[in-house]
């Protein structure tokens, strides 16, 4: 058994959890429990416009209903990203002191035009905007205009690899393959890459298990955590569930757990997930605890799963 294993669930309460979220959560639970670790429930309610308390409560209820427990976390406010702004601010100021962030006055439309289309599993590549190259004087002039800038992280020309526990080696040149990314929006809200890295660092997370659409973010998160003086966790990404329309998504209104709960039992749903991902050969009811006995990542599929 590895010492001090810490895993986490990190849902975003921007909609009801769907089956893809449940599969990632089940695998995070199995991974952590199989290693005798501590599991944290962190609420990623960063974006005030998209997060709703009823989705947060439903996410916790859904995981409990499924039979997944955790040791610490939400609703303790210390585990809600919306309450952790001071910690993100502190990390941001440290990055600023290292000259790793710069203000960006581009509009959202300009930023999107500068980035290639996002595909599941790929980073939105931002080749850098004119704001990255402003002189000190130009910058001061823009600050004087009164329009508040967003802040971007300046990615270095640096090769960073993550040896993913399920997908193997992911190597990126951060400047070329990941690109600069927003860490603080113009409205002051901190962005995903910064918040998740700061949280994984400060919460002592040693194993990150989540959907493989975030695999391409792992090298920059590793770099960010190490730049802030921490040790990066091990990453282990899980296959995505897809339907005709692509990856299941809360935004697309994919079948929610709340709806599934009306027609199925938790054991039947766990059994279905275990069958779909390759942990069981038949689609039969099972509990998460029963799956623990012979849990092995080697049996989990790597290709995405059509449902």
- β-pair partners for 205: none
Question: How many angstroms separate the CA atoms of 13 and 162, rounded?
Answer: 28
CB-nearer residue toward ligand GLU: 50 or 142: 50
> In terms of C-beta density within 10 A (0-12 exposed, 13-18 middle, 19 or more buried), how is residue 164 classed?
middle
- The helix (H) or strand (E) run that includes residue 192 is helix 192-202
The CA distance from 271 to 58, in Å, is: 21
To the nearest whole angstrom, how small is the minimum distance from the Cβ of residue 45 to ligand GLU?
9
Give the max Cα distance, the chain. 67
Q: How far is Cα 144 from Cα 77, in angstroms, rounded to an integer?
A: 37
Q: Give residue for tokens 């298990």.
A: 209
> With respect to ligand GLU, which residue has the nearer C-beta, 41 or 105?
41
Minimum Å distance from CB 27 to ligand GLU? 12
- Smallest distance from the beta carbon of 16 to ligand GLU, in angstroms? 12
Chain residues in the site for ligand GLU (CB under 6 A): 10-12, 44, 196, 210, 214
Locate 252 and state its tokens. 């697309």
How many beta carbons lie within 10 A of that of residue 1, not counting itself?
Answer: 7
Residue nearer to ligand GLU on the CB measure, 151 or 197? 197
In terms of CB distance, is 33 or 210 closer to ligand GLU? 210
Choose between 11 and 149: whose C-beta lies nearer to ligand GLU.
Answer: 11
In the complex, the smallest distance separating the C-beta of residue 116 from ligand GLU, rounded to whole angstroms, is 21
CB of 79 to ligand GLU, least distance (A): 13
Whether the link from the prior residue into 75 is cis, omega within 30° of 0, is: yes
To the nearest whole angstrom, how small is the minimum distance from the Cβ of residue 204 to ligand GLU? 15
């Amino acid at each position: 058994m590895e010492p001090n294993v810490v895993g986490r669930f990190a849902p975003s309460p921007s909609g009801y959890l769907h089956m893809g979220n449940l599969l990632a959560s089940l695998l995070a639970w199995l991974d952590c429990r199989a290693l005798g670790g501590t599991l944290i429930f962190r609420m990623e309610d960063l974006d005030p416009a998209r997060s709703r308390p009823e989705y947060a409560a439903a996410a916790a209820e859904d995981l409990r209903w499924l039979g997944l427990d955790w040791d610490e976390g939400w609703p303790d406010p210390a585990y809600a990203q919306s309450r952790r702004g001071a910690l993100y601010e502190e990390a941001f100021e440290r990055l600023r002191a290292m000259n790793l962030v710069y203000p960006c006055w581009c509009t959202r439309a300009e930023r999107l035009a500068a980035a290639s289309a996002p595909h599941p599993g790929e980073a939105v590549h931002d080749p850098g905007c004119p704001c990255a190259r402003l002189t000190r004087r130009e910058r001061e002039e823009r600050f004087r205009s009164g329009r508040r800038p967003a802040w971007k992280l300046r990615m270095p020309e640096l090769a960073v690899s993550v040896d993913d526990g399920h997908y193997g080696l992911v190597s990126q040149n951060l400047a070329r393959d990941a690109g600069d990314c927003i860490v603080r929006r113009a409205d002051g809200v901190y962005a995903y890459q910064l918040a998740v890295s700061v949280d994984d660092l400060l919460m002592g997370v040693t194993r990150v298990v989540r959907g493989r659409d975030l695999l391409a973010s792992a090298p920059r998160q590793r770099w960010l955590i190490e730049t802030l003086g921490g040790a990066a966790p091990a990453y282990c990404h899980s296959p995505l569930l897809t339907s005709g329309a692509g990856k299941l998504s809360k935004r697309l209104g994919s079948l929610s757990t709340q709806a599934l709960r009306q027609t199925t039992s938790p054991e039947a749903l766990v059994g279905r997930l275990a069958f779909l991902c390759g942990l069981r050969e038949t689609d039969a009811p099972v509990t998460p605890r029963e799956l623990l006995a012979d849990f092995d990542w080697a049996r989990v599929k790597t290709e995405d799963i059509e449902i």
